[in-house]
Structure 1
Amino acid sequence: MFSFFAKKYFFVDLLEGFTDFHNHILPGIDDGSPDVETSLQLLKKFEEFGVTSFVHTPHVMNDYYPNTPDTINAALKELKAAQPEHIKNSAAAEYMMDQPLMDKIDDEKLLKISGNFSLVEMSFLQPPINLKEIIFALQNKGHVLILAHPERYGFFHASDLRKYSSLKTRGCYFQLNMLSLSEHYGKGIQKMAFKLLENQMIDYISSDTHRLEHLEKLQNIKLKSKEIEMLKPVIENSKSLFA
């Protein structure tokens, strides 16, 4: 007899041995964890999912979060001094693609996630006018670009994937936010997340965790078996960044 109730599986069961490479766990330097105590709570919660390896990526965003390698590495040092020894972590950044970033790429060594991979983002309001030039300039400096949470850029949603395809053609990789698998950011974001997955446009996945609430929501995400199968190669590809 046909069942209308397809079995669902918890997403976090796929994360054993995963390295979370987009998060805001470092204490006190952006809109993520405000202090070491909170950072330790986040690490402890991640461990419940089998995740004990991290690349921390605080925002680098002009006047709002004017982080540098010095401020980021200082926060990492503070966290490492307090965390359990078995936690493995390093630091990179989530760079806003804007003119201030272009002004500094000649003078400041940008932090990379792994190898030559760098995490970048855009404003949620509109893409930079000179987006193509920014991408080219970063690539010319040896950066392989991973665009954070492409599903959250609503200004691309009406293009029937054409604008996404254009970015892929220009050599950008896409990183999906785990919470976009739910309605956390809204139904439209969730719909686009699965559309990008179905069209095999997502290369990597990570948490973009800012607070404990995010991880509590993450552990409640249940997916259908066909959705799990779509995600498995993305998760394995994400792990391969740190193999």
Structure 2
Amino acid sequence: MLNFFSKKNKVTDISWLGVDIHSHILPGIDDGSPDLATSLRFVKSLQELGFDQLIATPHIYQELYPNTKDTIVSAKDLLQQEMDKANVSLKLSAGAEYMVDQDFKMDGPLCTLDQKHLLIEMSYLSESPGISQTIFDIEIKGYQPVLAHPERYTFYFRDKSRLKRFKEKGCLFQLNLLSILGYYGKDVKQLAEALLKDKMYDLAGTDMHHDKHLSVLTDGIQSGRLYDLLGRYGFKNQEIFGSILV
């Protein structure tokens, strides 16, 4: 009888998060979806899992993916047209995930998540030189920085103190859902758990690039495991981004 009730009460969708603020689902402009057909399939799959809004965030990384506002808007519009043809009602908008390196600049129109929040990342191997100053500069420009997947940066595995200083400076943190499912390995999962325990995260996202990501994510959601791990945490995805006009 206990097993019957526990299965019945499992939450097997992700409507509790609702808005995915980090994904690589736009067609053919970075290391995510390679084409329009794949992008449409990803969107449909994410909608079936319970998302009602997606903010696509292709890389802007001059060395590998030198995207601009124009390339991103163009890819987003192509996907939106296909969604309209397929009667997909999910809301789609686009920002970007900026690599903070020597090429990062704020001298043109920025691809924000919602006109205010700017998603940034670093190399997984070493902290970006001057990252504290960059966070400050972003805020001076009137934006709020969002650090993507802090749990994945190997240089913070043994020392979280610098992450705490970023939080004190007003930087928001975004968790990759796959991190807590163990997809990136034990060390990443452990740091994610520690940051969750310390209430360091503000937001969560799929960071979905390809079918393997989608498969692990689907299993984690439909099994109820992801809700058990994160569903009561209180992420602010819907609070901050749920009213974006598309």
What SS does the aligned partner of 1:66 have? coil
- Give ranges in structure 1 of 5+ residues lacking alignment: none
Is residue 210 of structure 2 the alignment partner of residue 208 of structure 1?
no
Q: Determine if the alignment matches structure 1 residue 19 to structure 2 residue 22.
A: no
Residue correspondence of structure 1 range 51-70 to structure 2 within 5 A: 51-70=51-70
Q: Which position in structure 2 is the counterpart of 1:220?
A: 219
1:239 has 2:238 as partner? yes
Query: What is the identity percentage for the equivalent residue pairs of Structure 1 and Structure 2?
Result: 36
1:200-225 residue CA offsets vs partner (Å, 9 max, x unmatched):
00110010000122121012225388
**Counterpart for residue 91 of structure 1:** 94
Aligned Cα root-mean-square deviation (Å): 2.1
Q: How high is the TM-score relative to the length of structure 1?
A: 0.88
- 1:12 Cα deviation from its structure 2 partner: 5.2
Does the 8 Å CA contact 2:120/2:145 hold for their aligned counterparts? yes
Name the CA distance, whole Å, in 2 between partners of 1:148 and 1:132.
15
2: CA distance, partners of 1:12 / 1:134: 39
Aligned residue pair count? 231
The residue identity in structure 1 corresponding to 2:97 is E
Deviation of the 1:32 alpha carbon: 0.1
Single out whichever of 161-170 and 10-19 deviates more from structure 2. 10-19
**Which whole-Å CA distance do the structure 2 matches of 1:45 and 1:87 have between them?**
11
**CA shift for structure 1 position 230:** 4.5
Q: Distance in 1 between matches of 2:51 and 2:197?
A: 26
Shift >3 Å, 4+ stretches: 7-12, 222-230
Contact 1:173/1:202 (8 A) holds in 2: yes
> Counterpart of 1:99 in 2: which secondary structure?
coil
Q: Which range moved further: 69-78 or 43-52?
A: 43-52
- The Cα of 1:98 is off from its aligned counterpart by 1.5
Task: Tell me how far apart the structure 2 counterparts of residues 36 and 57 of structure 1 sit (CA, whole Å).
Answer: 16
- Does structure 2 conserve the Cα–Cα contact (< 8 Å) formed by 1:10 and 1:219? no
What displacement does 1:11 show?
6.9
Are the counterparts in 2 of residues 43 and 52 from structure 1 also a CA contact under 8 Å?
no
Moved more, 56-65 or 111-120: 111-120
